[in-house]
Structure formats: C-alpha cells, structure tokens
Structure 1
Amino acid sequence: MADTPSPITLITGGSRGLGRNAALHLGRAGHDLILTYRSNQGEAEATATELQALGRRFAVLPLDVGDSASFPAFAGRVREVLAGWHRQSFDHLVNNAGIGLHVPFAETTAAQLDEMYRIHFKGPYLLTQALLPLIADGGRILNVSSGLTRFSVPGSSAYAAMKGAIEVLTRYQARELGERRISVNTLAPGAIETDFSGGMVRDNPEVNAWIASQTALGRVGLPDDIGGVVAALLSPDTHWINAQRIEASGGMFV
C-alpha cells in the first residue's frame, strides 16, 4: 500500500512571529510547508533551515499581500513548487500575514485605512480566490483574526474592523466552499510576545504587565501558545470544526 502523502500547508507571513512558530509546529506534526515573506529573505531562510532539520520539504516565496495584482503570478509559482513535489494541490492555507496599527479613530488617515484594507481584507480575500484551484478538496483554510474583534482597545479601530470583516468572510467561505468539503475557520489570538507592532507587547514592561493583569491565566501569550493551536486546528481530528471563530487569548477581558 502506498504511503499517504504528507499534508502541505501554505502560510503567508510564515517566516517570523506567529507564522514562523506555526510552521515549526506543523513541521513537527509532519506537514510540508510553503512559506511567504514580504521583505526579509534572511528570516525566511532561517525558518527554512529549521524545517530542514525536521526533515520536512519546504519552499520560501516572496509575497506582498497588499499587492493583489501579484497574486496570479504567485499562484503560478505555487503551482511550480507543487509540481516539483509531484503534487497538483496543497491541503491547508493559513492567511496570517499582516501589520499592526495603533492610532486613535479620530486621527486615522485615509491612507492608513486603505493600507489596513489592502493587507488585512482585500489581500486574504483575493489571494484565497487565486489559490482556490490549488487547494485540495477536503482541505482547510484558517484566517487569522484578532482578539480585538471581541474586546475594544483604543487605537485599534482600523485594524480590528478589517479583522471583523475577515470573520464575516470566513462564514461565507465555509458556506460556499462546503460543496468541496473545504472547512474554513478563524483563529483570533490575544496579545502575544512577538515583534508585531514593533514588539510593543514583548518589549514594553508596562504594557506586558497590564495585559497579564487582564488575562484569566495571568500572563501574556507566547508564540508557542498560538503555533500549537494552528497545528491542532489543521489536524485530522478537528476536520468537523467549520465556520467558527476560535479565540486563543488565555481569557483576556473575560
């Protein structure tokens, strides 16, 4: 009997932060990975080296999720990677790439709002469209949102609003892609110690302590807290979870 092929997962923004941690968790779980990076090829190659040490196949591709005109060409590169692995499709898409913005509502500019829209809503929307022909029937899509869609922290209106739109989109994707048995869920992390938003949560002791005081489990989240959830949500045991928002925040503001 032929061996079952390893699942292939594509993670946008997979070279650093939560994307990198998720890639390593998935690599340890037996996934082969296609990772994207926007500008720091060195970080991407370092992550690839770690995956290689795990014995996994990997590819690292440049992608700016804010540039939707580049998506057809990117899909072509993904197709080439798959052909080199003797596959016609991949199994899981994790829409993770993004940037932060901390500006009061009254001071948010049109340019900032447009940037949030391009990166956090238009990008995942159109990229998923472009990759749909390459996603296997019975596959998974995981859209990364934020705890900020449930609770409000001043200065996050534009970022959180786009993540809220992604959560609505997730339900529509689950409904419309159900005929292909593709499940679609949202993962909403709470505050995590990474370099996101300039490392504000990780490097500012006052911010870190305040978040810990508002979290039921008494500390700020770590990348491993999220990477493990991604691996769990893409495991065979969780295939029946669909159209759901899963928050992983340690119980912030409960």
Structure 2
Amino acid sequence: MLKAKIALVTGGSRGLGKDMALSIARKGIDVILTYRTNEEEAGKVAQEIETLGQKAVVLQLDMSHFESLNNFVEEVKKTLNTQFSTGSFDFLVNNAGMGATVPFMEVTEELFDNFLNVHFKGIYFLTQKLVPFMNPGGAIINISTGTTRFSNPGYSVYASMKGAIEVFTKYVAKELGVKGIRANVVAPGPIETDFNKAAIRSNPDMKARLSSLSPLGRVGNADDIGGVVAFLCTDDAKWINGQRLEVSGGINI
C-alpha cells in the first residue's frame, strides 16, 4: 500500500484553513495543521480528519513571532520522523493570517510591521526553510485575496502584503520548478467566517453590499475555497503552476 502524501496547512484550526485541511484530507492526504492560540479547536479538526481515515497532527505556530520560525521547522522535522516515519512532506498551504480594516491615513508603523511579519516576511522565510523537506511533485499554495484586483477601503496594508505574496509565488514557481515543485495562489473574495473579527458575519449591511457586487448574489463560504486548495494538491492540477486562481464568485467583474 502506498503511503499517503502529507500536507502542512498553517492556520488550519478554523475558518478557511479548517475547510482546507478537511478538503485535503478527503483527497486521501494526511495533514499537519497549525494553530496560533486555540489548541482545542485545532484538536477537533484533527479528530474530524481522522474520522475521514487520514492521519492528522497539530502544531503551534504564531506567524507574528518571526524569531520562532526556526523552532517550528524543527518541530515539523521531528513530527515527520516520529508521526509519519519520513523526513519529507508534499504540500505547503500558507494560509495563516490576520485581518484588520484600517483606513490608509490611520495605519501605524506597528500595525504595518505586524502585517509584514504575518503575511509576507514570515511566509517568505517559512517557505524557504521548509522547501528542503518537500518532495518532488509537491506544491506550494499561497492564500491571497480578491482585494489585490479591486480596492476595498481599509485594506491597503493587507492587500499590499498579499500583492507581494502573488509576485513571490511566481518567483517560487520559476525557481523551484527544477525540484518538481509547483507554486500557485488562491485568492478568495469576501468570505463569511470569523476572519477580521467576523466583519462580514456580524454586519448585515456589509454582507448585503458585498453580495450585491457578485453576479451570484452572495458572499462566499469557507467550503467555496477549501476544495480549490485541495484540487491544487492533486495530480489533476499537475500542470497548473505560477497561477493566481481567484475564487470570488466573480465579484466586481
């Protein structure tokens, strides 16, 4: 029997990351998922994955603490060895993130630097540190946002960092092709989760406004995104590389 492939999903304890982790498991792939503070919720996701017949392991990761990345990589190496009897994995999903709606004129240097660490610098160097442990034929999926294509007031910092990630992904695809590793971007539109203090879920007027901008007449749900990420972790997507896949229901088309 062939050993299952392994995916590492950051921020997999809730919201989009949770659905990504579960959708990937449904493809017959084992999952290492990370959480920042809520170990209990992450454990519940791991249990759901195991009911699907796949192995799941939970690790703590706080992307805002850049200095912790080396220790996290060591934990990944140890986990691969002790829990999966291997030294490598196949798919890296850089999903962990944070949100805030802050007008450009109110952005502070502290907030900017925090977003930089979480959404760009941390992802850049975490990917660099983990690539040596990725198998040929594997893939990197970076999560971006629809707001790199259209502007939403208050998202200047968030969208700028995600724009950097989209450029970064093209370079990763170019430079890691020799290793047989693909890299792509999935860019969700507005999604009704608890992200950014559940801004959409808790604000009916915002939800209605955003829904009106979509040809499909609604905002997205977590399960609109996870299946696309899971698809990119399969051989069906083996010739998709260096691409930005916007999964937004056609908002502002």
Partner of 2:45: 47
Partner of 1:83: 81
CA contact (8 A) 1:9 1:91 kept: yes
Alignment of 1:156 onto 2:155: yes
Partner of 2:19: 21
Partner of 1:168: 167
Partner of 1:4: 2
Q: Report SS of the residue matched to 2:33.
A: strand
Partner of 1:184: 183
Structure 1 residue ranges without an equivalent (≥5):
none
Tell me the amino acid that sits aligned with residue 67 of structure 1: H
CA contact (8 A) 1:121 1:166 kept: yes
Structure 1: how far apart are the matches of 2:138 and 2:231?
14
Q: Report SS of the residue matched to 2:225.
A: helix
Structure 1: how far apart are the matches of 2:26 and 2:240?
22
CA contact (8 A) 1:21 1:224 kept: yes
Runs of 4+ more than 2 Å apart? none
Structure 2: how far apart are the matches of 1:147 and 1:202?
18
% identical aligned pairs:
51
For 1:138-189, what per-residue CA distance to the aligned partner results, in whole angstroms no more than 9, with x for missing partners? 2100000000000001110000000000000000011111110100001100
Alignment of 1:68 onto 2:66: yes
| Length-normalised TM-score, structure 2 | 0.98
CA drift at 1:71: 1.4
| Length-normalised TM-score, structure 1 | 0.97
Structure 1: how far apart are the matches of 2:77 and 2:109?
36
CA contact (8 A) 2:47 2:56 kept: no
Structure 2: how far apart are the matches of 1:253 and 1:110?
31
CA contact (8 A) 1:22 1:227 kept: yes
CA drift at 1:211: 0.7
- Equivalent of 1:59, from 50, 57, 62? 57
Structure 2: how far apart are the matches of 1:18 and 1:79?
25
Tell me the amino acid that sits aligned with residue 230 of structure 1: V
Structure 2: how far apart are the matches of 1:105 and 1:118?
19
Q: Report SS of the residue matched to 2:242.
A: coil
CA contact (8 A) 1:68 1:127 kept: no
Tell me the amino acid that sits aligned with residue 155 of structure 1: G
Tell me the amino acid that sits aligned with residue 170 of structure 2: R
Q: What is the Cα-based RMSD across aligned positions, in Å?
A: 0.8
Alignment of 1:202 onto 2:201: yes
Structure 2: how far apart are the matches of 1:198 and 1:72?
29
For 1:13-64, what per-residue CA distance to the aligned partner results, in whole angstroms no more than 9, with x for missing partners? 0111100001111111111000001111111111111112112111100011
Structure 2 residue ranges without an equivalent (≥5):
none
Tell me the amino acid that sits aligned with residue 142 of structure 1: I
Q: Which moved more, 1:62-71 or 1:17-26?
A: 62-71
Structure 2: how far apart are the matches of 1:14 and 1:202?
20
Structure 2: how far apart are the matches of 1:4 and 1:49?
23
In the comparison of the two structures, how many residue pairs are matched?
252
For 1:89-122, what per-residue CA distance to the aligned partner results, in whole angstroms no more than 9, with x for missing partners? 1000000000012111111111111111010000
CA drift at 1:70: 1.4
CA contact (8 A) 2:145 2:188 kept: yes
Tell me the amino acid that sits aligned with residue 93 of structure 1: L
Alignment of 1:247 onto 2:246: yes
Alignment of 1:116 onto 2:120: no
Alignment of 1:143 onto 2:142: yes
Q: Which moved more, 1:129-138 or 1:237-246?
A: 129-138
CA contact (8 A) 2:19 2:223 kept: yes
Q: Report SS of the residue matched to 1:202.
A: coil
CA drift at 1:203: 2.3
Tell me the amino acid that sits aligned with residue 47 of structure 2: T
Alignment of 1:128 onto 2:155: no
